Amino acid sequence: MRDAWVMAATFTRDRAARPSIHKRPHLGDDATMPTKLLIVAVSINAVLGQLLLKRGIAALGGTAALALLPRFIVGALRSPWIYAAVAIQGFGYFLWMIVVSRVKLGVATAGVGGTFYLLLALAAWGLYGEALTSVQWLGIVLITVGVVCVSLTPR
């Protein structure tokens, strides 16, 4: 019985001495500065993809074009705006894979989400004249504050 306790203690000690492959850095670590930039890049990429998608759908006739779905699909398959949106989103997915390999999924999602909401609202306002109400802006600010809280969570 004593041998089992010695083996368990040795295993635990040896395991504690090895670095864990599951420990992921937080956004505040110095080693993750490139990760912060990647999170911003993913957010900007997602915003660009959405703006191109909106432009492509507008070129197809907007929501009215959806009434004739087969014609809309054919038009979408011929639209350079839609292809550009898909290409940018595909590149963003590649960047996203790098981000989630470096940080916790919840932290990465919160970081991209908060940045995305803010940037998309500003871009839609600047490019398409889409205005948000005060309550909607408050919601975006609250989301951004929540993102900061998630990224500052202790290890």
pLDDT at 67: 84
pTM score: 0.70
Boundaries of domain holding 83: 28-151
pLDDT at 23: 52
92 vs 20 pLDDT, higher one = 92
Whole-angstrom CA distances from 48 to 72, 92, 128, 138, 152 are: 22, 10, 13, 23, 28
**34 in a structural domain:** yes
- Say whether pLDDT at 10 is over 60: no
Instruction: Determine if residue 62 is left, alpha or beta; phi over 0 gives left, psi from -120 to 50 gives alpha, anything else beta.
Output: left
**Overall number of domains in the chain:** 1
**72 in a structural domain:** yes
pLDDT at 52: 95
Angle at 138 between CA 132 and CA 140, to 5 degrees: 75
Q: Quick check: helix, strand or coil at residue 25? A: coil
Name the average pLDDT for the chain: 81
Query: What is the pLDDT confidence band of residue 106, given thresholds at 50, 70 and 90?
Result: confident
